[in-house]
Amino acid sequence: MLFPFSDHIGLLKQMLDSRRGIVGELEDRLFGVQGKEYAKNGDRESIADILNACFFESQAIAHLSPLSGQLEAAHAADGFEPAGQDGYARELDPVELVLRAHHYWDGTRWPGTKARLSYAQTLYTVFILRQLERLSLRIWDEGDEWAAERLQQVQLVLDLLNATSRSAHAIRLVSDARWLIQTAQGPLTRHPAPYFAKAARVSALPDEIRLEVNKAGAMLAGGHLRSQLRHLSRRTGWASDDPQLLALTRQSNSMDMALLVHDLVPLLREYIAICERQEDDSRRVLADAILQGLSADPELLLTRLDLLVPSTMIEDLFVDRGDAGASRYTAVGESHREYLMRYGELVGCAADALQQDSRTFDPARADYSPLGSVYGFCADLYSNMVLNTLPSASSPDMTLEDLFNSRERLEEKRAQAEEWKRLPKRAGEPDPFEHSNEWGARMHARLAGALEARAARPAEPNPSRNPKSRLFVVLRGVADDSLPDNVLPAGVISGQEHCLTSDLARARASGGTALPASRLVADRAEGRFLACVHSEGAWFGISKVALTLFTSQGKDALFADVPAGLTDVLRRVCPELLVVIGEDDGQP
């Protein structure tokens, strides 16, 4: 059954025509007596019901009410199953924004009708934008050939929404529909496959559309991953360059880094072409996006391309085991390998020019830099824009795209960042936003150093100061005392604690770490392992943490009691790093 895309465009236009009535209903029902009672009790379900009723049960739209819930159902059918919450606003949630308004006004004073209507208008904008986000992912439903035209229809509705939001107290959250394709995929979900399916669809879009989607992806990924690093650094007390901290962040970021590479490849290709054509303005725009993406993890993306391949591999999605047990790449895995190869070539060619351009974006020379911004997820930025209308009589006309522009309106952005630091929050919550010149300078410094190393040795996988090292794997059944002399290098470090298994007895005997099978299966799906297989009735895997703690530091690592089936996958994932001991009379 085809998704009724045109019907949803018509529905949203009808909602725009009925804006005044819907906003009035939102103000009356969400901030009246009944709404106050629901908010006091934290009744999210009832508040959500009111929101939906205000939009879908109004007299002008009642005939289109069967469309309610279809976008959410289609999104779930694509495989975007929400993951559990951990305190961050993973998606733009109008219910949470209603509760936040009640909390703020209860703690200060309740405003008059005009201010409540103004906030209701903002909630109206949020609701429509969420519909547009979902709709932006439906542009391919009748074939790639219709995608560009359908995205233009989404843009038209977005333009109409922003045009009706031009009152003194209204806000525009985003202006470019191409960004919606990325923000719609911002919330964390359980399965990586849908993201790669959408990325493949994006790659088939015309260049003028695709490159802006890629720019949005690189900037948003860079901002999120830098923020994660800052948050975890504070939580653990580890420095931002501590291998323990980098290992902690990287093991959960396989998908983010892989998709970032997919966005960077076309951007780098276009950047190189623009440099050759000497189009300076376009060069700076693209450099801004690319450098923000690279700043997510300059070591992996610039100086340790030999580790980027295994770091971004997601075995559950990229590797398949045939009937005979031998591993092979899936179609998605083969596509990712091609991206990695192209990325290595392109980033080497572009490194020198990027190094020059990076000086232009040094945060030390600017009032504001995206490199200094710290938040959580993309939705947190939207939420900040909305919540800033509570204490402020007016908000700057600044969209999501503006926040990631390192070149324009920097003083205004710095002023807004200062306002966001003071946004209302509940007791015990962290600050909703931070802009730190010191953090921005630190992020830029590590980026500049990595660019210098890559530019000096553009074709080498490892231009870092640390030597190449290897992962030594001793097969199950091979005793330590049976190993020939000199088979292991001097100074090899045991990585046994990073061998994870659901077999408690075997973990105790070998020095590995025992985890429940359900945890191992979930971590395997998320890409936290170099390889993980089910063998002899139990799961066994080697954590990617070893790449950061050992290999990136130039240290050889040893893993024992490894099932033979695991080595077959390791040969796919990290063949240049792997040494298997025990297959040929104990010889590697």
Q: Which residues contact 175 (CB under 8 A, 6 or more apart)?
A: 158, 162, 399, 401
Q: Predicted confidence band at 9 (pLDDT cuts at 50, 70, 90)?
A: very high
Q: Is the pLDDT of residue 585 over 50?
A: no
Angle, alpha carbons 184-251-546 (nearest 5°)? 160
CB 319 within 8 A of CB 327: yes
Alpha-carbon distances of 132 from 89, 158, 259, 419, rounded to whole Å:
19, 8, 22, 28
Q: Write the DSSP assignment of 154-212 as a string of letters.
A: HHHHHHHHHHTT-STT-------HHHHHHHTT-S-BS-SHHHHHHHHHHHTS-HHHHHH
Q: Predicted confidence band at 394 (pLDDT cuts at 50, 70, 90)?
A: low
CA distance 474 to 480: 9
Structure-token match 């899936």, residue found = 330
Structure-token match 């190393």, residue found = 453
**CATH number for the segment(s) 471-581:** 3.30.63.10
Element of type H or E holding 8: helix 5-17
**Per-residue pLDDT, 89:** 41
Model confidence over 76-94: pLDDT tens digits?
Answer: 999 998 876 544 447 899 9
**Per-residue pLDDT, 432:** 86
Q: What is the mean pLDDT of residues 178-202?
A: 93
Q: Is the pLDDT of residue 239 over 60?
A: yes
**Per-residue pLDDT, 587:** 46
Provide the b/e sequence for 462-490 (b: ≥16 CB within 10 Å). Answer: bbbeeeebbbbbbbbebeeeebeeeebee
CB 392 within 8 A of CB 280: no
Q: Is 401 exposed, middle or buried (0-12, 13-18, 19+ CB in 10 A)?
A: middle
59 three-state secondary structure: coil
- Report the 10 Å Cβ neighbour count for 86: 8
CA distance 581 to 487: 8
Q: Where are the beta strands (DSSP E) in 48-117?
A: none
**Per-residue pLDDT, 58:** 79
Q: What is the mean pLDDT of residues 379-389?
A: 93
Provide the b/e sequence for 513-549 (b: ≥16 CB within 10 Å). Answer: eebeeeebbebbbbbbbbbbbbbeebbbbbbbbbbbb
- Across the chain, how many H-helices and E-strands are there? 26, 12
Tell me the average pLDDT of the chain. 92
Alpha-carbon distances of 584 from 189, 483, 578, 581, 587, rounded to whole Å:
44, 11, 15, 8, 5
Beta bridge partners of 514: 501
Q: Which of 389-403, 408-422, 451-465 has the highest mean pLDDT?
A: 451-465
- Report the 10 Å Cβ neighbour count for 167: 10
**Per-residue pLDDT, 67:** 86
Q: Read off the pTM.
A: 0.94
**Per-residue pLDDT, 324:** 66
CA distance 383 to 91: 9
82 three-state secondary structure: strand
CB 138 within 8 A of CB 5: yes
Q: What is the mean pLDDT of residues 379-392?
A: 90
CA distance 89 to 187: 8
End-to-end CA gap in the chain: 55
CA distance 302 to 107: 49
Domain ranges of the chain: 5-183, 205-365, 471-581
Rg, C-alpha atoms of the chain: 26
Beta bridge partners of 501: 514, 540
Q: Predicted confidence band at 167 (pLDDT cuts at 50, 70, 90)?
A: low
CB 573 within 8 A of CB 547: no
Alpha-carbon distances of 236 from 377, 403, 549, rounded to whole Å:
20, 28, 16
Q: Which two tokens stand for residue 232?
A: 């975890």
Q: Is the pLDDT of residue 555 over 90?
A: yes
Pick the residue with more confidence: 531 or 164? 531
Share of the chain above pLDDT 90, in %: 81
Pick the residue with more confidence: 143 or 62? 143
CA distance 519 to 517: 5
**Per-residue pLDDT, 481:** 75
- Report the 10 Å Cβ neighbour count for 7: 13
Q: Which two tokens stand for residue 290?
A: 């690319």
Q: Is the pLDDT of residue 317 over 90?
A: yes
Q: Is the pLDDT of residue 326 over 90?
A: no
